[in-house]
Structure 1
């Protein structure tokens, strides 16, 4: 027997036409990733029965679902399908805005184990969350939160007729060289930022029914875009925008060495809190400013992503 090596695990996925059903001859796309903890989550209950000998009488298996995260480094063209799934909308002339169309995929993890390999698949998988992190002198990370319906019995073979498109090879974005036009509109002097985080959350919930071992379906909660700007304190402009509860727009561009770009725009947001602290000797004064987006009638969305191939 061969112990599976983490450096040889392959992640691939394919779009589902019917939610929770893998296409009969799937055209898988191999994905780039860093780590993943997606798994089948097993729910058990211990009956509260009283025994004179004080032992547990039994343990009951009551249900299962799929959940976990996939941690990645962002690169152009690699996760456009996932962004579409996350924002519940299709790309239209290279523009993506948040919508209400459910999109699911089957995830497949391949484990190299010598003569007999293992394939573990997760059906009805949705992108519930994305945590995007831009930090000075670091790669741009994109960490995806997954919710799925089921995991079929693991197998030792590919699905008959399955194909696998190779992963992309575009450069990974980094926040030192690849971020341009990072600005707040509505603030007279846009602050310099040490880091920017963004969380996109579909607030997906699970619908359970009597007689079903797995989730019957998933539902959409409210679409939310939140995050935190870590800004240097150079003037009062950002602080006044916090105090005045001003309408602010956030925009930035990610551009790789090949000339491919993503333009990300949040047309309306509020700065929720923040102020200049007294930090002590030997360090700059910075403000951690949480923000939240809200609906913009001009774009009919809370967030817009535009892709521009080189």
Structure 2
């Protein structure tokens, strides 16, 4: 008997027209990923009944939903569909700004069992959050969190008429060679950063109703962008901005080739805390500043991504 191998497991997605319904003859897009935890979340109830025997009388299956994460490495063009789902908007002239248009996906895992295959499908999936991680001299991480409505029964065959687009082949982006610029505006001298993170959260919530085994729908919460930067302490400019609670901004240009780059813009952020810290001998003094973004009138939202940047 062949045991499924992780390195031969395909993860693919397709945009749904109706939440929870896989389109007819779907064109699945194969996704590049590092690991995943997409899962059926069963909800059970153990009745607190007393019969005198001390036994559990029943285990009731009362509901289910989909949740989990997909851990990836950032590369150009690979996640543009998922970014549009996360931002609840469409790309407009290569610009994406957070909006209110709900998008759902179906995800499919294909397990190779040698003589046969097994297909596991997740329906009505919303991109709930994304954490981008930038660490000096490392690849850029992009870790997604999702919420979904339901799962299909495991299948031994593809969806009728389905086709599969190959995964992208653009290079994985890294923080040593692929950051064209990373500027913190609002201070006299943009600090030199050792690390940074940006977390985008839709705060999606689940709507449950009587008579429904799976969630009836999902609702959109507040679009929140937060993160953290860790800088070498070379002057007091950033520290003073934190104390004064002044408006700051972040602009990041990243990519490996001309016209295959992104620019990420947070027009208005606040440094929420932070001060110089001495960790010990033989190391630099660092200042770590957690931040929160707010609406930027110049971009018309909390965050903007531009692609196809020269």
Fold conserved (TM > 0.5)? Answer: yes
When structure 1 is superposed on structure 2, of 274-283 and 152-161 the one drifting more is: 274-283
Does the residue aligned with 1:7 lie in a helix, a strand or coil?
helix
Deviation at 1:127, TM superposition (A): 0.3
Partner of 1:146: 146
- Residue matched to 1:85: 85
Question: C-alpha displacement at 1:258, in angstroms?
Answer: 6.2
| Aligned-residue offset at 1:116 | 1.9
Distance 1:214 1:166 in 2: 32
CA distance in 2, matches of 1:292, 1:80: 24
Partner of 2:301: 301
Alignment TM-score, normalising by the size of structure 2: 0.98
Deviation at 1:46, TM superposition (A): 0.6
C-alpha deviation, 1:283, in angstroms? 1.1
**1:257 offset after TM fit, Å?**
4.4
TM-score of the pair, normalised by structure 1:
0.98
Provide the secondary structure at the position in 2 that maps to 1:184: strand
Q: Is the 8 A contact 1:140 1:175 kept in 2?
A: yes
3-state SS in 2 of match to 1:48: coil
Q: 2:109 — aligned with what? A: 109
Distance 2:102 2:57 in 1: 42
Match of 1:5 in 2: 5
2:221 is matched with which residue? 221
> 1:191 and 2:191 equivalent?
yes
CA offsets, 1:68-113, max 9 Å, x none?
Answer: 0000000000000000000000000000000000001100000000
> Are the counterparts in 2 of residues 36 and 68 from structure 1 also a CA contact under 8 Å?
yes
Aligned to 1:56: 56
Q: Deviations over 1:105-138 (max 9, x none)?
A: 1000000001121000001001000000010011
Q: Does 1:97 align with 2:97?
A: yes
Write out the 4+ residue segments of structure 1 that deviate beyond 6 Å after TM superposition. none
In 2: Cα distance, 1:98 partner to 1:259 partner: 22
**What runs of 5+ residues in structure 2 fail to find an aligned partner?**
none
Question: For residues 256-306 of structure 1, what are the alpha-carbon distances to aligned partners after superposition, in whole Å with 9 as ceiling and x for unaligned?
Answer: 146510000000000000001232211111011100000012221100000
User: Which residue is equivalent to 1:231?
Assistant: 231
- How many angstroms does 1:309 deviate by? 6.0
Which secondary structure state, in structure 2, belongs to the residue aligned with residue 241 of structure 1? Answer: helix
| Aligned counterparts of 1:42 and 1:121: Cα–Cα separation in 2 | 15
- Aligned equivalent of 2:248: 248
Residues 64 and 214, structure 1, Cα contact 8 Å, conserved in 2 = yes
Contact 1:252 1:263 (8 Å CA) reproduced: yes
Decide whether the 8 Å contact of 2:106 with 2:124 is kept in 1. yes
Mapped contact 1:171–1:257 kept (Cα < 8 A)? no
The 1:169/1:42 distance shift into structure 2, 3 A limit, reads same
Could you tell me which residue of structure 2 aligns to residue 161 of structure 1?
161
Which residue matches 1:75? Answer: 75
CA contact (8 A) 1:229 1:290 kept: yes
Tell me what 1:210 maps to. Answer: 210
After superposition, the CA RMSD in angstroms is 1.0
2:138 is aligned with 1:131: no
Q: Is the 8 A contact 1:202 1:221 kept in 2?
A: yes
Q: Distance in 2 between matches of 1:222 and 1:107?
A: 25
| SS at 2:151 equivalent | coil
Q: Which ranges in structure 1 are unaligned for 5 or more consecutive residues?
A: none
Query: Aligned partners of 1:256 and 1:145: how far apart in 2?
Result: 26
